[in-house]
Structure 1
């Protein structure tokens, strides 16, 4: 196996450019004997002379001309590989797989992703929508690197950190009598059919909603469930029932749906960033830091 150092190739290219050992040594800030020794070492490694040396001139041999053509490409690829390794070590390149609940995709997630992409354009982002429960499992199983979840409970494997917290709103068909009010009392929803999230998709969030109803003297009569917010809002717009949702979703403003504040003390729902406790990946750190900054900026 040929043992050639990159430093030797750089020395060779300087000599090949100057075709003069003294001038090349001066450009490289080394002595001429040291330069000559490096060229001889390179020639021994390659098993062939690279220069014809006479008292009058220095010329490249046929092997030297081949190396002159190949060496710049070798150095370019080596330097590019070194840069990529450094970027990967710093979390500036590679692949970051992120999950997000629909709540975050409708609010803070786009800003977080834009921030990461702007700072680290060589870091490939793969983003998909998953409910909180699925993300917590995927994080533990290392199928996700980071996530944006809602009211998740930390585990021994996955930690969560609150980003933003906003109150629940009443979600009503646009022609519902309560939609004409500026605010809605939770007790006025007692006899209404409800459209909610299935509990397995986020038990903590589901329990906040149903617990709030019980505090006002009733259990919600759930007539329909939707695995995503678009489905639920469509069901509300169709008049199948009312709902309770975080205020983030008011940004969607689908036709036929009215969002109204609830009166009195209203529970808040937290959006959180989640990642594995033992994950020391710089890329994950960049994602978490961007999430914190976007949340602080409001």
Structure 2
């Protein structure tokens, strides 16, 4: 059984008017053409939909049942067509987004808000992952797009810089340097350090180690944390200090202070990453929106 949408629409108008001549005028078709559409619909269903006499037109019980169901059928068809078209132009569907915690406290929410305004039917599945895990997920096509930190080039991926921020010192509230306007890197030589594990982001880890060595010492690493909340909590407990991108100062965590470094501390970049072969319009929308947001910062 195949129902033509045009015949179904004609049926609804006819069932409302209960007058073939008026219906034909409303639909801008001939009365004979309308009769043919209704007849084809009845033949397709195998039941009569109208009782027609010289004086009146009435719905049969089957026609009443169809009149109840037909508007819902057409609504769902129209909605499906709309979703298909929006999916084709990247304004609907689901976008799998990865992000480092740094970006989730800074640029990522701004990008998603801006994209949401442009494409309100596009759904986001956001996963917080470290940089290396995101690169692997992108290469395996488990993520559509990602915001990473100081990522190494990958042959299957496109990497594009979004924003950069300098390293700052994170100190416990009661640390002797907590009230200083700036801190000299050499003054940190005898401090205990809390860092990210190297396997979660080798490039970023090496930036910190290299910076300390440039100033004459190797950091005494007493603890590592797999996420920023753990690391900042360890700093707040007085276990040590940390070097982090300035983005994290947005977290406003109790018990710690963020202080700038003197001189020219390393700049840490957040990058946009996606698979070279991903031609999804939704990914391109995200990339374009991310670029636009980055330009405003």
Q: Same fold (TM over 0.5)?
A: yes
* Cross-structure match for 1:15: 14
* Cross-structure match for 1:232: 231
Please state whether the residue corresponding to 1:217 is helix, strand or coil: coil
Measured in 1, the distance between the counterparts of 2:61 and 2:249 equals 74
* Cross-structure match for 2:273: 274
Deviations 1:121-175 (A, max 9, x none): 3332222221111111112122222222111123122222211101111222333
| TM-score, normalised via structure 2 length | 0.92
* Cross-structure match for 1:66: 65
2:124 corresponds to 1:125: yes
Please state whether the residue corresponding to 1:187 is helix, strand or coil: helix
Deviations 1:224-281 (A, max 9, x none): 1111112212222233222211111122233332222111122100111222221122
Question: Which one is further off, 133-142 or 288-297?
Answer: 288-297
Q: Residues 248-267 of structure 1: matches in 2 within 5 Å?
A: 248-267=247-266
Q: Residues 204-243 of structure 1: matches in 2 within 5 Å?
A: 204-243=203-242
* Cross-structure match for 2:76: 77
Q: CA deviation at 1:79?
A: 1.5
Q: Residues 100-119 of structure 1: matches in 2 within 5 Å?
A: 100-119=99-118
* Cross-structure match for 1:25: 24
Measured in 2, the distance between the counterparts of 1:70 and 1:174 equals 67
Question: Which one is further off, 7-16 or 234-243?
Answer: 234-243
Question: Which one is further off, 196-205 or 118-127?
Answer: 118-127
Deviations 1:27-80 (A, max 9, x none): 111122222222222222222333333333333333333322222222122112
Paired positions, count:
297
| TM-score, normalised via structure 1 length | 0.91
Question: Residues 64 and 259 from structure 1, CA distance in 2 versus in 1: closer, same or farther, beyond 3 angstroms?
Answer: closer
Q: CA deviation at 1:215?
A: 1.8
Root-mean-square deviation (Å):
1.9
* Cross-structure match for 1:186: 185
Deviations 1:83-129 (A, max 9, x none): 22223223333322222211112212222232333433333222222
Measured in 1, the distance between the counterparts of 2:249 and 2:92 equals 35
2:165 corresponds to 1:166: yes
Measured in 1, the distance between the counterparts of 2:80 and 2:92 equals 12
* Cross-structure match for 1:138: 137
Please state whether the residue corresponding to 2:265 is helix, strand or coil: coil
* Cross-structure match for 2:284: 285
Please state whether the residue corresponding to 2:262 is helix, strand or coil: coil
Q: CA deviation at 1:210?
A: 1.2
* Cross-structure match for 1:46: 45
* Cross-structure match for 1:202: 201
Question: Residues 254 and 47 from structure 1, CA distance in 2 versus in 1: closer, same or farther, beyond 3 angstroms?
Answer: closer
Measured in 2, the distance between the counterparts of 1:64 and 1:257 equals 73
Question: Residues 172 and 52 from structure 1, CA distance in 2 versus in 1: closer, same or farther, beyond 3 angstroms?
Answer: closer
Question: Residues 213 and 3 from structure 1, CA distance in 2 versus in 1: closer, same or farther, beyond 3 angstroms?
Answer: same
Measured in 2, the distance between the counterparts of 1:66 and 1:252 equals 59
Measured in 2, the distance between the counterparts of 1:183 and 1:67 equals 77
Measured in 1, the distance between the counterparts of 2:48 and 2:142 equals 54
Unaligned ranges ≥5, structure 2: none
Unaligned ranges ≥5, structure 1: none
